[in-house]
Chains A and B, each alone.
Chain A
């Protein structure tokens, strides 16, 4: 690579900006796509349980059995449907009208009174493991509370139940959206970062303009910079848009520093745009480059960034693999900045890795940006 002339670089950047503004698909990718994806991830992916419908079959009319059923009805997360027969409830469950089923046997009160250890039967729908887990833990909770309230001490007074009060720090209400949205911003930015630039060099090859450009005195450095700078600015605007939508429209709290956010985003965009440019430069075909950018950008960002699936619970080869994708560091940094604030111990290593990836992709692209058609 030889020198850079300010005039030529400016002329190329101006040309690129005209093309960005005049091509509606750029606006679609940079502004409409992120907002759409953000809403999709923010509302469609929900790890919180809502009201769970539970069927109860009580074959015992004794006071203990009645009071346990009342305990279940009093649980806020459960909506109890009283059933007349096991068959009826099973049918309801197979139709999905109820998500679980509790059977209180006819000797429940008798066994309880005689201290023989009364038992209940809980049936859940294993086809939906997540909901099944909710059902069994809600019922267990109710069962525990009921037992504590009823167990008489030796002198007849009830057991002072040991109370467990979980506190979730950083996301006190454990609203899953608050940590899903920052993570999904990382995914969205990966997609648009790679998609924006994957098209631009390939387009010049396909339309034959690259040939005309290469016959002029432009240098490889000028070419490369003119492809990065305008799209970096566009990417930053998209990033600001995402943050704005998350904080203002979706009500996700932001606890960190905007300056640090901008800095981290810069490093991330450097890596993501560099990756897209690399594909575009190597493949020289818009369709292939866009497809590669989506597959190699979107899928790992979704699966391996820790946005939905915890990286710590992955097997070690996958954990190692996540290190290669900028989305992983960006998702982590965003989750930290939104929920916890500016925590240097997390952000600095992430930024270092992002910087490293940026250098790697841009260097590779620069090496592939030749002055000939060979």
Chain B
């Protein structure tokens, strides 16, 4: 046993009845006391199952778990007093006030009398909730809920704190505040396990466990994990071409395992240090050059998963290039004019205006609940604006005939295919919905099966597909009829970084064929893939422009190269003042 380990896990296996693959597969790890360990991985990697097992909420199928030297099952009574656990969505009673939620947890954890008064005072000051004690938890913002959830899990002075995706549904400012709070706690000796889907969040942790498919694929400090990538990360600057076109070509070079757009540059990860692709053959332009950049945790993770998917989009290859319609304004295929939507007293969308040009990728960015989806749904005619107008190809989809809708594809945020139908049936159904018949229908369905590698899953029920394949099928169903305009609502939410790359390849490929695309995302780094972005915060469009321009607006001498998240935070602060 490692003397300083607060948590030790050996050969942990967890199987759920009815599923073939184990949720946790031979997990062996230890976590040091007084550190923050980041548990990173896509949805379904086993992060939540792991945390629940540590909290004693799930019984291990096999293996040994020791938290503070205690068995979470056999010695649960003793252990519970020392473990604070914040589940996803924070586990608050929404119809109870802030103080009532705190009081409940205090009573349950036997924090009473003078100790309670002192703890409440301290926690309320710490979380900045002192002036909201009477407010129902359901009426708090995402960031305040998160803080209240943290406060509840801190009652009774736990020595272990387990946080399950505390950053989801929370704006970037609140996420940073939470991070500061947790960091302060860990300095006082608290051992923290923090699960997240954001790799940039994990970079701040003392220690990281990269998880995929129930296994821990890599462990170490972020620096150790990123050190492996030293000498392999470069930026190509001074491009002659659009970055996304170069990215396409560079990803197909054998020397490159991963790449991404960064403003007007392309960032690449080399297969081996020092072995570069030939810039001249890539048509990067006469002044193009390599510039070494610091590795990121995401580079390490993608390298571990075997590299990105290359640069080609099979989907774009089978999509016909469309001639622009002379009757339409090429600069405003999609147009939002002063869109407002109120639900009761709540302004979900407040005076949002933008236009999207033909073949452009327009991204709506913002934390969950900021109003992206509401604006998005009004634009494609699913929600009626309270005021303002939403036009697609010059038509208001609320009133326009189904013929106009035939020209657009829509991928909903939540899985909205028929879970009880097989993959093949879903494809057939959606092809019929979009009016494909006979030979053409058979051809397109077969084409989608090949394009998205769905052949092994044809008879699988859509509901039983792995998440990445669900998203692929959903995309297949909405592009089969080759729409001119594509609406994608959080298409990459919850999927692993490699699948995310693949999705962006498709999106870029389609845009090059003249398809106009509007996409929402809460991953700040995905903004880089868009031609232009609109930042949505509390219903308002607080900034609109090219990713590079937005970042440049926030550059300071101390921070010459801000990230999109830095820019977003600055823009929010600017909008608030």
**CB of B331, distance to nearest CB on chain A (Å):** 46
Query: Which of A2, A7, A212, A213 has most B Cβ within 10 Å?
Result: A212
Contact A207 B86 (CB under 8 A): no
A-B contact pairs, 17 of them (CB 8 A): A8-B108, A8-B110, A10-B107, A19-B93, A207-B89, A207-B94, A208-B90, A209-B92, A211-B52, A211-B57, A211-B91, A212-B87, A212-B91, A212-B149, A217-B80, A372-B58, A373-B52
Distance of A245 from chain B, by nearest CB (Å)? 29
Complex interface: chain A residues within 8 A of B57 (CB): 211, 214-215, 372-373
Which parts of B95-119 form the interface with A (CB within 8 Å)?
95-96, 100, 103-105, 107-110, 112
Q: Is A374 an interface residue (CB 8 A)?
A: yes
Pick the contact of A216 from B59, B80, B94, B96 — CB < 8 Å?
A: B80
Name the A residues within 8 Å of B104 (CB-CB).
11-12, 14-15
Please tell me if the beta carbons of A7 and B110 are within 8 angstroms of each other in the complex.
Answer: yes
In the complex, are the beta carbons of B109 and A216 less than 8 A apart?
yes
State whether A373 touches B108 (Cβ < 8 A).
no
B100 touches A15 (CB 8 A): yes
**B59–A7 contact, CB under 8 A?**
no
Give the docked Cα–Cα distance between A214 and B95 (Å): 19
| A212 engages B59 (CB within 8 Å) | no
The minimal Cβ–Cβ distance linking A227 to chain B, given in whole angstroms, is 14
Query: For chain A, which range describes its interface: under 10, 10 to 19, 20 to 34, or 35 or more residues?
Result: 20 to 34
B411 on the interface (CB 8 Å rule)?
no
Q: Mark B133-167, 1 if CB is under 8 A from A, else 0.
A: 00000000000000001001100000000000000
Q: Mark A4-37, 1 if CB is under 8 A from B, else 0.
A: 0101101110110011001100000000000000
A215 vs B52: C-alpha distance when bound (angstroms): 9
Pick from A10, A209, A374: contact of B91, CB under 8 Å? A209
User: Once the chains are docked, how many angstroms separate the CA of A216 from the CA of B81?
Assistant: 7
* Contact between B94 and A11, CB atoms less than 8 A apart: no
CA distance A215 to B56 in the complex (A): 8
B3 within 8 A of A: no
Q: Does B326 contact A (CB under 8 A)?
A: no
Chain A residues with Cβ under 8 A from B77's Cβ?
Answer: 2, 217
Cα(A8)–Cα(B59), bound, Å = 25
Partner of A11, one of B59, B90, B103: B103
How far in angstroms is the closest Cβ of chain A from B192?
Answer: 15
Looking at A5, A209, A213, the one whose CB has the most chain B CB atoms below 10 A away is: A209
Question: In the bound complex, how far is the Cα of B92 from the Cα of A66, in angstroms?
Answer: 83
In the bound complex, do residue A22 and residue B95 qualify as a contact, i.e. CB atoms below 8 Å apart? yes
Contacts of B76 in A (CB 8 A): 371
Q: Which residue of chain A lies nearest to B76 when distances are taken between CB atoms in the complex?
A: A371
Q: Is the CB of A208 within 8 A of B91?
A: yes
Contacts of A22 in B (CB 8 A): 95
Among B100, B108, B152, max chain A CB count under 10 A is at: B108
> Would A215 and B80 count as touching, CB distance under 8 A?
yes
Query: A374 CA to B149 CA in the complex, in Å?
Result: 23
A208 & B96 in contact (Cβ 8 Å cutoff): no
Known contacts A7-B107, A18-B95, A373-B58: A208-B112 contact under CB 8 Å: no
Residue of B at shortest CB range from A5? Answer: B110
How far apart are B17's CB and chain A's nearest CB, in angstroms?
9
Q: Is A218 among interface residues, defined by CB-CB distance under 8 A?
A: yes
CA distance A372 to B61 in the complex (A): 13
A214 CA / B77 CA spacing, docked (Å): 11
Residue picked from A8, A218, A372, most chain B C-beta under 10 Å: A372
Query: Is residue B83 contacting chain A, with contact meaning CB distance below 8 A?
Result: yes
Assess whether A208 is in contact with B87, with CB atoms less than 8 Å apart: yes
**Do residues A19 and B95 form an inter-chain contact, with CB atoms below 8 A?**
yes
In chain B between 257 and 290, which residues have their CB closer than 8 angstroms to a CB of chain A?
none
Residues 169-190 of B, flagged 1 when their CB comes within 8 A of A and 0 if not, give: 0000000000000000000000
Q: Are A216 and B108 in contact (CB under 8 A)?
A: yes
Looking at A7, A213, A373, the one whose CB has the most chain B CB atoms below 10 A away is A373
Chain B residues with Cβ below 8 Å from A19 are: 93, 95-96
Given contacts A7-B110, A22-B95, A217-B110, contact A211 B81 (CB under 8 A): no
Q: How far is the CB of B63 from chain A (nearest CB, A)?
A: 15
Chain B 16-57 against A: per-residue CB contact (8 Å), 1 yes, 0 no?
Answer: 000000000000000000000000000000000000100111
Write out the residue numbers on chain A whose beta carbons fall within 8 Å of the beta carbon of B83: 215
Does B368 make an interface contact (CB < 8 A)?
A: no
From known contacts A211-B57, A216-B80, A373-B57, infer whether A23 and B95 are also in contact, taking CB-CB under 8 Å: yes
**Interface residues of chain A: helix, strand, loop or mixed (majority):** helix
Q: Which residues of A contact B109 (CB under 8 A)?
A: 216-217
Chain A 54-75 against B: per-residue CB contact (8 Å), 1 yes, 0 no? 0000000000000000000000
The answer to whether B93 touches A15, judged by C-beta atoms less than 8 angstroms apart, is yes
Once the chains are docked, how many angstroms separate the CA of A288 from the CA of B91?
22
A225 to chain B, nearest CB (A): 14
Neighbouring A residues of B110 by C-beta, 8 Å: 5, 7-8, 217
Q: Is the CB of B105 within 8 A of A216?
A: yes
> What's the Cα separation between A207 and B93 when bound, in Å?
8
Q: Kindly list chain A residues whose C-beta atoms are within 8 Å of the C-beta of B87.
A: 208, 211-212, 215
Chain B residues lying within 8 Å of A373, measured Cβ to Cβ, are: 52, 57-58
Please give the distance in Å from B134's CB to the nearest CB on chain A. 13
Q: Kindly supply a per-residue 1/0 record for chain A positions 197-234, scoring 1 wherever the CB is within 8 Å of any chain B CB and 0 otherwise.
A: 00000000001110111111110000000000000000
A208 and B88 in contact, given A15-B100, A373-B52 (Cβ under 8 angstroms)? yes
Residue of A nearest to B149 (CB): A212
CB pair B59 A374 closer than 8 Å = yes
Task: Tell me, in angstroms, the Cα distance from A2 to B75 when the chains sit together.
Answer: 13
Measured CA separation A22–B153 after assembly (Å): 25
Contact of B529 with A by CB under 8 A? no
The answer to whether residues A18 and B108 also contact, given A208-B87, A212-B152, A373-B57 and a CB cut-off of 8 A, is no
Question: Which A residues lie within 8 Å of B105 (CB)?
Answer: 216
CA distance A373 to B80 in the complex (A): 15
Q: Would you call B85 an interface residue if the criterion is a C-beta within 8 Å of the partner chain's C-beta atoms?
A: yes
Cross-interface CB contact of A218 among B55, B93, B108, cutoff 8 Å? B108
Q: Are B96 and A18 in contact (CB under 8 A)?
A: yes
List the B residue with the shortest CB-CB distance to A18: B96
* Residue in chain B with minimal CB distance to A3: B77
Verify B94–A18 contact, CB threshold 8 A. no
Which chain A residue lies CB-closest to B55?
A215
Separation in Å of the B170 CB from the closest CB of chain A? 16
* B55 partner residues in chain A, CB cutoff 8 A: 215
List A residues 327-374 near B (Cβ within 8 Å): 371-374
Select from chain B the residue with minimum beta-carbon distance to A10: B107
B-facing mask of A249-287, CB < 8 A → 1, else 0?
A: 000000000000000000000000000000000000000
Residue of B nearest to A211 (CB): B87
In contact, A8 and B85 (Cβ under 8 angstroms):
no
A147 to B94, CA, bound (A): 78
Q: Which of B55, B91, B92 has the most CB of A within 10 A?
A: B91
Q: Which residues of B contact A2 (CB under 8 A)?
A: 77
Please, how many angstroms separate the alpha-carbon atoms of A251 and B358 in the complex?
76
Given contacts A5-B110, A18-B96, A211-B91, 7 further A-B contacts (CB under 8 A): A18-B100, A209-B91, A212-B91, A215-B55, A216-B105, A216-B109, A217-B109
Give complex CA distance A251, B552 in Å.
81
Chain B residues positioned under 8 Å from A374 (CB to CB): 58-59
A2 to B104, CA, bound (A): 20
Which residues in A have their C-beta under 8 angstroms from that of B91? 208-209, 211-213
Is the pair A372, B59 in contact by a Cβ cutoff of 8 Å?
yes
Contact A217 B100 (CB under 8 A): no
In B503-560, which residues have CB < 8 Å from any A CB? none
Give the chain A neighbours of B81 by CB distance below 8 A: 217
Contact A11 B93 (CB under 8 A): no
Report the minimal beta-carbon distance from A337 to chain B, rounded to whole angstroms: 38
Q: Given A212-B85, A212-B87, answer yes or no on A11-B107 (Cβ-Cβ < 8 Å).
A: yes
* Least CB distance, B290 to chain A, in whole angstroms: 48
Q: What's the least CB distance linking A223 to chain B, in Å? A: 11
Which residue of chain A has its CB nearest to the CB of B112? A7
For the complex, what is the distance from the CA of A22 to the CA of B90, rounded to whole Å? 21
Q: Which of A14, A19, A214: most chain B CB closer than 10 A?
A: A214
Residue of A nearest to B100 (CB): A18
Q: In the complex, which residues of chain A have a beta carbon less than 8 angstroms from the beta carbon of B95?
A: 18-19, 22-23
